[in-house]
Amino acid sequence: MSTCDVCGNSTFHEQRVEETFLIEGQLIMVEHIPARVCDRCQDATFDRETVEQVRRMVHGSTRPTRQVSVDVFTLA
């Protein structure tokens, strides 16, 4: 049985999530990623195959499906 790396919980559910990545100074959001989500803290983990698929997509020639603007705040 596996446990959550964040809170130690041992129950999870499958869910599609969105995740943001900062790649070479550019903010990238990937939607609909299949993930294993902790029932307690909601931390999402991805299997190796999914991580590789996301990596190929954001570093390859795949075009974004849409663009959004984002506000950036700095905590002093």
Question: Residue 75 falls within a domain, yes or no?
Answer: no
Question: Residue 38 falls within a domain, yes or no?
Answer: yes
| Structural domain harbouring 39 | 12-59
**Number of separate domains in the chain:** 1
Evaluate if pTM is beyond 0.85. no
Question: Residue 3 falls within a domain, yes or no?
Answer: no
Q: What is the pLDDT of residue 24?
A: 87
Question: Residue 72 falls within a domain, yes or no?
Answer: no
Question: Residue 7 falls within a domain, yes or no?
Answer: no
Q: Please, what is the average pLDDT of the chain? A: 94
Distances (CA, A) of 20 to 5, 14, 26, 38, 65: 19, 19, 10, 18, 15
Question: Residue 39 falls within a domain, yes or no?
Answer: yes
Question: Residue 69 falls within a domain, yes or no?
Answer: no
Distances (CA, A) of 44 to 30, 47, 64, 66: 13, 10, 23, 23
Segment 29-66, tens digit of pLDDT: 999 999 999 999 999 999 999 999 999 999 998 999 99
